[in-house]
Structure 1
Amino acid sequence: MSISLPYISYLRLPFRMEQDSHHILFHCIFNMLRICGKSWRCLIWVAILIGLFGDLHAQKPEIIYTGLEDATSLYATTNHLFVVESGKNRILKLDHDGMLIETLGGFGSGDYQFNGPTDIDATNGLKIYISDTGNNRVQIYDRRFQFLSTIDGSMISGIRRFQPTQLVVNEFGELFVFDTYSNSILRFDENGSLISSFKPVNGLIPDEIVLVNEQLELTDAKKGVIQIMSQNGLSVELFEIDFQGQELIRTATVKGLVFLLTGGTIEKEAK
C-alpha cells in the first residue's frame, strides 16, 4: 500500500503540539507501521516522518490571529487567508500576517448573510465557494466578495432537501460538497449543474474534504477514519487513525508557509 507525502504530513497535524513529543512520535510511527507493514518503503516513510516531526518542533509557530468564535474552516491563496467564523456567521479575509482586510456576512438569509456557515474554498482567489449550512445552500462570490450565484435544493433534481457542510473545488471548477440530509457527496460542474452523487463508506461523515493528488480525502475524526476516493466516487483506500480525542487541526499551505487553525487561533510557520 503506497502512502503519499501529503498524507504523511497530515498524520502529524491532528495532535496538539504541546503534548509530549516522544508519545506523539511513537504513536505516529506505530500507525505508519500498522498501515503499510515493515517493508523497506515503509521504513523510508517513517524516516521522513521523523524528519517532519523534528521540523515541526524546531520552530514554534507564530500566532497571527486569535479570538475567533467557532472557526470551522481556513483557506489560503497566494496573498490572503479566508476564515469561516461560524459563531459570528461571517467570513474573514486576512493577509498572511493576520491583518484583517475585510469581512463578509452577518446573520440572515440574504445574498450577503449566513446562518452557521461551515466551509470555504477560495480556489485561486477569483471565485469563492461557501457552504451556508443553516440556509441550506452554497454561496458563490468573486474576489471582491460580490455575490455571483447560489446552489440550493430547488436547483437539484430529485433532491428535496439540501444541507451542505464540507466542500472542495477541483482545477476544472467542479464543486464537491457533502450533503448531510442524503449523507452523500454531490458533484457539480462549473455552472452549478449536478453531475453525480455518491456516498462515503460505512456511514462516514466528513469533518474535512480535501483534494490530494487529484483524489478526494475525507476525514471523519469522530470515527477515526480517513477515506481516499476518486473524483468519480470510487473508494481507493481506507485508513484508521486514532485521533485520541484530539481536536482536528485545520491547515492551509501556500508559498512555503503553513497556517494552522485550532479553536479560535490561527498560527503560521515556515514549511
Structure 2
Amino acid sequence: MEFSSKLGEGGLELVSVICYRLWLRRNDLIFRNLFCGPKHFIKAACTDIIDFSMAIVEPREGRDTGLSPVEEREGRDTDCLWKPPSGARLKVNFDASFLKPVQKVGLGIVIRDSKGDPMVMVAGQRDSVNSAYLAEGDALSRAFSLCADLGVDEADFEGDAKMVIDAILDPTPDSSWSGQLVEDLKKGLSSKTNWKLTHVRRDGNRVTHVLAKLALPLDCEFVWMEDGLYVAMPYIASDKPDCMPTAFTDCV
C-alpha cells in the first residue's frame, strides 16, 4: 500500500511493466544469448504502457460503446465539440502527455482549416520535463514556433490546459517558478496581432490527445502535411460539423 501511494497510478504501472521487461531481458540473455540495454527496455516499457492505454481508451472515444468516433459525436455536448475557425483563419490545437516517472513528454499539434481538414500534424517528445504544467507549456511553445515557421498570421490556438492558458492570458507578470515559460509564451502570443488563445474541454481536443500519447516513445519529431496520421483521421472526421455516421468512410 505504501509503495503504491508513493508512486501513484502512473508510476506503479511503469514499475510493473519494467519488472516484466526485466524478466524477459533475463530470459533472452540466458536462453537466446541476447543482451538488451537498460535504455532500450525502459523505452519498450513506456511503449507497452502507451499501447495498453490506447487499447482501453475511454468509452467517449468510441471503443467500449462499439461506436465510431463519428457516431460518438452525436451523444456529446455540442458546447464541448471542436469548432472550425471562421473565414481564412486556422485552428491550432495542442496537447501534451506527461509520463512523470521518467520525466518524458509527448507533444501533439494539429492545424486545421475552416472545413476541418488537417493541414499539418505534429507528434514529438521532450525529455527532462518535471511537471504536466511545463509539458503543456512546451506543447504550446512548439505550436507557436511551428506557426511562425509556416508563416501563419491568423490562428486560433486551443488547448485543454486551463491553468496554463489562464496564466498566459493574465496580464499580471508571473513571478512563480514556472513564470519564465509563461512570460515567453505571452511574448509569443503577442508577436502576432491575429493570434488568439482559448481554452477548450478535452472533447474538443481529442486529435492532439491521441497524437501526444503516440508521441511518447518517439526518438524524434514527426510532421505530416495534409494527409495526417491514419490513427488520428477518425477523430478528424468526427470533429467535422457536417460529418454524419453514414458518411464516415467518405470523411476519412
Q: TM-score range by the shorter chain?
A: under 0.3
More helix by share: 2
> Higher Cα Rg: structure 1 or 2?
2
Greater RCO, CA 8 A, separation 6+? 2
TM-score (norm 1): 0.25
TM-score (norm 2): 0.26
